[in-house]
Structure formats: structure tokens, C-alpha cells
Amino acid sequence: MKSSRRDSSSTPASPSLSKSWRFLLPFLGLLLAVPLPAWLWWSMVNGSVGQGRTGGTTALATAPTQAPGDSAPPLPVSSAVPLQCPANFAFAAKAVQPDSSPEQNSQPQSDTGNPQPPGLATPLVKRLPQLATWLEQPQPIAAAIAANLGPVLAAQFSPQPFPEISQRARQARVPIMMYHDILPEKQVFFDVTPAEFEADLQLIRDQGLTPINLDQLVTHLTTGLPLPAKPILLSFDDGYAGHYEYVYPLLKKYGYPGVFAIYPDKVGTKKGRSSLTWEQLRQMAADPLVTIASHSVSHAVLTQVDEAQLEKEAVESKRILEQELGIPINHFVYPEGKYNERVQDWVKQAGYHSALTMDDLENRFAGQSKDLLSIDRIGQSQLETIIEQAYGGPPLPGWNNTFNFSAPIEVNRPTINEIPLILISGGRPITIHADSRYQVPEILAKTQAVAGVDGGFFSLEFLDSNVMIGPVLSQKNGQFVPGNASENPRLNGRPLVLISPTGVRFIPFDASKHNSLEGIQAEDPGATDAFVAAAWLVKQNQPQPEQSFGNLFDFNAARHRAFWGINQNGQPTIGVSTEPVGSVELGEILYKAGFRDAVMLDSGASTSLAYQGESLVGYTPRPVPHVVALVPAEVPQGCIFQAQK
């Protein structure tokens, strides 16, 4: 096949212990009864389904510790000089009287808590002290199990009909890299030396990718279950001796899985080039890192053989491999990538769960394939060009509204419905109401925030005005500024965003109740930030229809759009579209991207997104006075508004 070139004290046991644990029995019984893959069990224990499994996080998860323009590269928070911050910091909002706020009568001209259950974001082994609490009060862990396992079971028990691919899986970008011979001296252009192959594995590790196995991929494609954040699959065709001598030892060294396509006629012979022996193949097949796939019996081009030989190539190859290796053979790889409907029919009849192919002219990720019987691969020479695009797919819709403000901050650039997005998720959300208008990176530079997007709508009457449309509360200065009393009724029904240390609420704005600090605190006594957004794009896991936007000016015009919300993992997420899009379509896109709630922010010329001191939009946006920002979980509350150094 041709190539196109990762100080406590003991407590007596409660006499009601056995009785209290009865509450958990249905969940535990369900856990034991469901044949989920091992990787998925570990992900659920770690609370990391769809958030990455191995390979760690990259520099995207660290906070910058210097201002833009400094010559030294930014340091991770853990290696920076500790910030000296007040230990007794406490947020206390104060109201600003309407007549003390400048330009309160300016006309609007701009267009337009539940804490996370314990243990979901930390490995169970680090939570042994909490385990004692769970034994006495099992309800919280039961809720956690239900919250995490429920969506997984829903997806697991509602797969697509074979061989269709889940629409949710089509949003992921999983590259399957295709290798052939690995040998010290190349003979053809798609050969790879052992040193080059190890360099590829080092690149995969350094870029934070997680190699997965083919069973994981097929489960993902069938059910839409998210994979680790940056997945990749490694495949090796034709059973060369170098696969045992070089590839297998390196996969074991790095702990990476791989799939090997074998055709029995070649095993133990000198056909073509060097070959694996059956004994070597048995040793490899016994290793959980290795998946063996059928590559036909003789490596014939299957579109060119008669019906009898086609049946033999599909059925007999599976029987021989299963007999020799003592394992089920569930996957097929088309010789030279060639197939047609007749070939696929025999592959399906033989009982394979998937089949891999290739395209000499176009690189496609697994989710872009036609179906499970024609999963595309990419030649190994393209690794460097596609590695940054790897994406495990959006999280599953949750069964509760918990929040996770402790995840690392990460950037993702999906394209959905042909609209490219930049999404930044993780950390904890804050707002910043500046004293004038600035570019978003300038506002962030005075804080420890890693990322920010332009926020609420503001008056355009004066170039340096920071007057917002509607009331605003920001923990930046702890001040509540009422909105223009005569204009506020026009905002009724729009999303009022309430941010607290433990959660976020999006509720309909009511000018008669929400234009005072007391009114805000009546809705959420712990609110540290509040402002009025333009409209819901996604509300309670549903994209919003056209009628929900009411009389919002020009809401469905194609514009660059800014937005923020909470994803299915409970993480705050900010973002922009890098191409113009209408609000209704954007809501559908963000739902597919895994938002459970999302609201539109000031858009058009104001659309701006910044990360680590740099603007991520390809133009100079309008300066703004308000930002929704993400702060790394490691930054103490009292340190947030210290300037970056």
C-alpha cells in the first residue's frame, strides 16, 4: 500500500454504614454490569471523559507571568515566583449611586451555585481522606457517579446503526497515521527509519497527544463518546520484520497502542520484503497495546478479484488469524486502500466491526469518513502538519448542572458547519469593567487572567466612555453600577449573567428587580459579577430558535460573533467565530461544540479574543470597556488583579 507521506484522626465506623451504602447499590450494580472499555472506566474515576487521559496538558494550561513584549518566555504558575497576595481577601460589592456614575443618560448605541461534586477532577487515590466522608454520607458520590456515568450510558446504549458514524463523532478530529516498513536504510520514499519513527513518537508526546487503540476509536465513532482531548491512532501495514524489531519495542517504551494489519500469506515467508514470524506475531498479539487487523489473505486488490476469491480474502483471513493467535479479529484493512460496495458487503458479512482505507489525493480525519467500513487514514509524512488539529470531540450532554472551575485553560479551534471557531475553556470566570476603553489584551495585562473575550454592550456616544448598557457588577472594583433607568426595560428578557465563586447563572433580566445590588444579591447572594448579555444562543442544552431573539437588532445578520457560556463538563468557555455567522446558526454550532448554555456578547466590530497577551483575531477590533476573562485555578482570589510581570 502506498503512503502519501501522548492531621487526621480515626473515626469509629457508623452503625448505619451498611444501611447507608444501600443507596449506592443500584449505581454499583450498574457499574459492574456495563461492559465499558477500560480506558473509559479510568476516565470516569478521574472525571476526565473528554478532557484528556494521558500525555498531560501543554503550555495552554499555564498562566502567563509576564507582560506582552517581555523577552523571556512565560513561565508556568508552578515555576514562577509566588505571588504575594492578601491571605484574608474577601469580595464585598458596593453600589454606586445612579447620579455618581458618569454619562448615565447616554443613549445605547451599540448593536444591539452548585459546587462540583468532590473528586470528579482529582484522581481517586488523592482523595482517600474524602473517601471516609463518602462512606458515612454516600449520597454525594452517588450523585457524582450518576452525573458522570449517566451520559456515558446514554451514549453507550444508543449507538448509530452499523456502519453509520455518530454526528457527535463527526465533530472530532482524530488522525489515523499510516506507516509501512521501518528499517535502518530506506528503499522507497514512504519507508521510515527507527530514528525517524522515535522522533514521531517524541513529537506526539511533546505536543500532548494521546494515542488510542482502534476499539476506542470505533466506540467513539459509533456512540459519540468523547475521546481524550488530543487523540491519535497509529497503524502499521503488511507485517514487516521491522514491526517486531523496532516498532513494537518503541511502542512499549512510550506506552502507546498501535494496530498492525497482517495478511497470512506473508507471515513467516520472504514474500516481498522481510516478514514477521507467527511466534513474533503471537507475542505481540498478547500485549494489550497491540491490535491485530486482517489485511486479507494475499494482499490482492479486492476490487479486481472474483466473488470466490473475495469471500476467501475477507472470511478466511479472519479465520486463520483467529486460529493462529487465539484472539478475535474485529477489524479489516483494505489492501492498497481499494474497495467498492461489493468488497464492503463481504467485509460486513465476515463480521468485522470496521475497515480502514486511505486516499492518495486527500487527507481526512476518522470522523470525516463515509462510514465505519471506510475509515480514512493519513500518510505518516503528514504528521507535523495535522498534529495540532487533533481534537477528541465535544463533551456529552450532562445530567446535572455542576461546575468545574479547576480545569486547566486550553485553546481549541474546531470548524463546525463550515464556520471556524476559537474556543478557550477552563479556569474560573470573572468580568473586568475597565475605567475606559481598551483592546482586550491591554485589559488582561493588569490582571492574572490568561484569556478574555469582549463582554457586554456599551454606549458608543463617547470614545472613552465605559458606560454599559444595563447594570454591571465586576469584582475588579467591587462596584455595582446601575443601568440607565429609561433604557433598562428594553433589555427585559435578555440574559442576566450572574457569576459566583461556585457557579454561573443565566436568568431573564427584569428591569424592575435587577437594577440594584440588592436585586442582584436576592437572585444570588454570592454573586461577584453581573451584566446583561445580548441573547441566549444555547439554553439548557438546546440551541435557540429565531423567535427567541425577539426584537434584538440585526441578530441574524452574518457577523463575527463573540460569546461565552458553560460547556458540558461544567467549564467556563469563551470564544469567537472567525468567519461571519448569524445568531441562530451560531447557536446550533455551539450546541454541537458541547455548550450546555451560551450567550452572545458584543459582536461585529467589537469581536475580540485574547490569550496569553496576544489577540487571536486577524484584525484590530473596536476598543471595549468590559471583558469576560478566565483565571487559572491556581491563582489565589486576592491575586487576580495584580498586573502580570
Q: Is the Cβ–Cβ distance between 599 and 415 less than 8 Å?
A: no
User: 333 pLDDT band (50/70/90 cuts)?
Assistant: very high
pTM: 0.64
Among 389, 414, 446, the domain-final residue is: 389
Q: Is the Cβ–Cβ distance between 231 and 174 less than 8 Å?
A: yes
Weakest-pLDDT range from 129-133, 146-150, 514-518, 595-599: 129-133
Q: In the prediction, which pLDDT does 249 show? A: 99
Q: In the prediction, which pLDDT does 96 show? A: 65
In the numeric block, which cell numbers belong to residue 215? 476499539
DSSP-derived secondary structure letter, 194: H
User: 121 pLDDT band (50/70/90 cuts)?
Assistant: very low
Domain assignment present for 546: yes
Burial of 37 (0-12, 13-18, 19+ CB in 10 A): middle
User: Residue 108 pLDDT > 80, yes or no?
Assistant: no
Give the pLDDT mean for 313-331. Answer: 98
Contacts of 126 (CB under 8 A, 6+ apart): none
> What is the helix (H) or strand (E) element at residue 237, kind and residue range?
strand 231-237
Q: In the prediction, which pLDDT does 24 show? A: 44
Weakest-pLDDT range from 175-184, 294-303, 397-406, 563-572: 397-406
Q: In the prediction, which pLDDT does 91 show? A: 58
Task: With CA atoms as reference, report the closest residue to 317 among 338, 284, 295.
Answer: 295
Task: With CA atoms as reference, report the closest residue to 237 among 331, 373, 350, 351.
Answer: 331
β pairing state of 535-539 and 595-600: antiparallel
**Selected residue with higher pLDDT from 118 and 640:** 640
The alpha helices in 88-188, defined as continuous H runs, are: 128-136, 139-156
Q: What SS3 state is found at 621?
A: coil
d(CA 182, CA 205): 20
User: Residue 645 pLDDT > 80, yes or no?
Assistant: no
Q: What SS3 state is found at 608?
A: coil
Q: Is the Cβ–Cβ distance between 264 and 321 less than 8 Å?
A: yes
- Same-domain pairing of 223 and 296: yes
Give the pLDDT mean for 185-199. Answer: 95
- Same-domain pairing of 360 and 411: no
Vertex 175 angle, CA 171 and 177, to 5°: 165
Q: Is the Cβ–Cβ distance between 25 and 37 less than 8 Å?
A: no
Task: With CA atoms as reference, report the closest residue to 402 among 597, 224, 633, 591.
Answer: 597
Domain enclosing residue 259, as ranges: 159-389
**For the residues of 152-170, what is the DSSP string, one character each?**
HHHHHTSPPSTT---TTGG
- Could you give phi then psi for residue 505, rounded to 5 degrees? -125, 145
- Same-domain pairing of 480 and 360: no
User: Residue 300 pLDDT > 90, yes or no?
Assistant: yes
Q: In the prediction, which pLDDT does 112 show? A: 36
User: Rounded to whole angstroms, what are the CA distances from 622 to 413, 438, 439, 588?
Assistant: 23, 8, 7, 27
Q: What SS3 state is found at 45?
A: helix
d(CA 378, CA 366): 9
Among 364, 389, 414, the domain-final residue is: 389
The alpha helices in 288-398, defined as continuous H runs, are: 307-311, 317-325, 341-349, 383-386
Give the pLDDT mean for 71-83. Answer: 33
User: Residue 13 pLDDT > 60, yes or no?
Assistant: no
β pairing state of 542-543 and 479-481: unpaired
Q: Is the Cβ–Cβ distance between 632 and 409 less than 8 Å?
A: yes
User: Residue 524 pLDDT > 60, yes or no?
Assistant: yes
- Same-domain pairing of 249 and 275: yes
Mean pLDDT of the chain: 82
Q: Report how many domains make up the chain.
A: 2
User: 153 pLDDT band (50/70/90 cuts)?
Assistant: low
Question: In this structure, what CATH number is given to the domain that contains residue 195?
Answer: 3.20.20.370
- Same-domain pairing of 411 and 375: no
- Could you give phi then psi for residue 284, rounded to 5 degrees? -65, -45
Q: Is the Cβ–Cβ distance between 424 and 575 less than 8 Å?
A: yes
In the numeric block, which cell numbers belong to residue 272? 516481498
- In one-letter notation, the amino acid at residue 118 is P
d(CA 620, CA 442): 13
Domain assignment present for 11: no
> Which residue is associated with the grid cell 488469524?
321
User: 638 pLDDT band (50/70/90 cuts)?
Assistant: confident
- Same-domain pairing of 276 and 351: yes
Domain assignment present for 561: yes
User: Rounded to whole angstroms, what are the CA distances from 457 to 24, 38, 90, 498?
Assistant: 48, 48, 28, 16
User: Residue 2 pLDDT > 50, yes or no?
Assistant: no
> Which residue is associated with the grid cell 475606559?
436
User: Rounded to whole angstroms, what are the CA distances from 120 to 1, 49, 106, 142, 224?
Assistant: 45, 10, 47, 12, 21
Among 389, 421, 449, the domain-final residue is: 389
User: 465 pLDDT band (50/70/90 cuts)?
Assistant: confident
Domain assignment present for 83: no
d(CA 380, CA 389): 15
Measured between its terminal Cα atoms, the distance across the chain in Å is 54
d(CA 479, CA 97): 10
- Same-domain pairing of 415 and 506: yes
Give the pLDDT mean for 71-95. Answer: 45
Q: In the prediction, which pLDDT does 410 show? A: 92
Q: In the prediction, which pLDDT does 399 show? A: 63
User: Residue 66 pLDDT > 70, yes or no?
Assistant: no
Helix-, strand-, coil-residue percentages of the chain, each rounded to 5: 30, 20, 50
Q: What is the dihedral of CA 616, 618, 620, 624, to 10 degrees?
A: -40
User: 462 pLDDT band (50/70/90 cuts)?
Assistant: confident
CA 176 to chain centre: 19
d(CA 450, CA 613): 8
392-430 core/surface letters (b: 16 or more CB in 10 A; e: else): bbbbbbbeebbbbbbbbbbbbebebeebebbbbbbbbbb
Domain assignment present for 13: no
Q: In the prediction, which pLDDT does 327 show? A: 98
Domain assignment present for 378: yes
**Selected residue with higher pLDDT from 211 and 67:** 211
Give the pLDDT mean for 178-206. Answer: 96
- Same-domain pairing of 316 and 418: no
Contacts of 349 (CB under 8 A, 6+ apart): 314, 315
Domain assignment present for 363: yes
- Same-domain pairing of 299 and 438: no
Vertex 251 angle, CA 247 and 253, to 5°: 115
- Same-domain pairing of 479 and 349: no
Q: How many CB atoms lie within 10 A of CB 326?
A: 10
- Same-domain pairing of 335 and 461: no
Domain assignment present for 562: yes
When computed from its CA atoms, the radius of gyration of the chain, rounded to whole angstroms, is 28
User: Residue 35 pLDDT > 80, yes or no?
Assistant: no
User: Residue 158 pLDDT > 70, yes or no?
Assistant: no
User: Residue 74 pLDDT > 50, yes or no?
Assistant: no
- Same-domain pairing of 289 and 437: no
User: 159 pLDDT band (50/70/90 cuts)?
Assistant: confident
The alpha helices in 84-138, defined as continuous H runs, are: 128-136
Q: In the prediction, which pLDDT does 50 show? A: 40
Give the pLDDT mean for 558-566. Answer: 98
The alpha helices in 224-289, defined as continuous H runs, are: 241-242, 248-254, 278-285
**Selected residue with higher pLDDT from 464 and 46:** 464
In the numeric block, which cell numbers belong to residue 408? 486547566
Task: Rank 96-100, 552-556, 615-619 by mean pLDDT and report only the highest.
Answer: 615-619
User: 520 pLDDT band (50/70/90 cuts)?
Assistant: very high
List, for residues 581-631, the tens digit of each pLDDT value.
Answer: 999 999 999 999 999 999 999 999 999 999 999 999 999 999 999 999 999
